[in-house]
Chain A
Amino acid sequence: MVFNIAIIDYEMGNLKSIHKCLKHLNVTSSVTSDPKAILNADGVILPGVGAFGDAMRHLDEKDLISVIHQVVNNGTPLFGICLGLQLLFTSSSEMGAFAGLNLIEGEVVLFDIEKVGKVPHIGWNSVKIQNYNQFIIQGIPDNSYFYFVHSYYSLPENEENILGLTKYGNVNFCSITSKDNIFATQFHPEKSSKHGIKIYQNFIDFCKK
């Protein structure tokens, strides 16, 4: 079978730019909400822009929550982006309290405007790599810049799940997380020029292993 990446389509955000970025890397990907296609893929991307509660509701309506758990249990690499990172955690306080996928223990919270000045956090910020042993960040120089757009951030319970840290105002937050076959970035690699493209290339190479 042809190597294929499934980009989970649950009506949240700009999926096309991820698809185009993979195409640029000569990788076939399908934007899909079909459980079978997702489970058969060599790697799965969980994208997302928008509100946490809406996103979980859409995933639930499409019966994708258990599918994502199955992907992880099968050992298929899973890559979360932006809201897709936040959904991996236990819960979020975004406009209420919502349960997440609980694949990584931790909470998602809103930036305190007193500590950061402006919310959302929009623009290019640097990432301090915490652990270079992980495949996903190979070849990425420490303190490289990536493009962020978000108002909430994750607080992983276990320090070993923090792969990259970013400072915004007086808040130092987790910008890359990983656990076993799960990786996620708070920033948008597909909008982060060459370093972002390199992260996708690393993910693809990991999926091919």
Chain B
Amino acid sequence: MNEVIGIVFFGIGVAFNFFGCLGLVRFPDIYNRLQAGTKCVTFGTIFILLGVLIYSGFTSLGIKAVLCLVFILLTSPTAAHAISKGAHRSGVRLWKESIIDRYREEVKPVEGEKADA
């Protein structure tokens, strides 16, 4: 029974990984790709690691899977934020059909100060 539930969890996780990578290939813009890829792939990998825990129970394999899960859950959004901020600061433009850019409105005075100094 545990094995069947684990296989189902693996299936959900692999499907989310696949759709996230499809978004990474198909979307038009760095920011869209970041949103599709990072969220979907993180969720899918978390489901795969939960499946490992259910499949193998509380053995050493399952405990290591929980450790890896907590680590990915903490670090993946941090990395996505850092990439997004770095891309915006390095001057990558939005897609031409995007309509609003709040971050540039917020950060504009800071860039003015830098230009003065």
Partners in one complex: no
B residues adjacent to A (C-beta < 8 A):
none
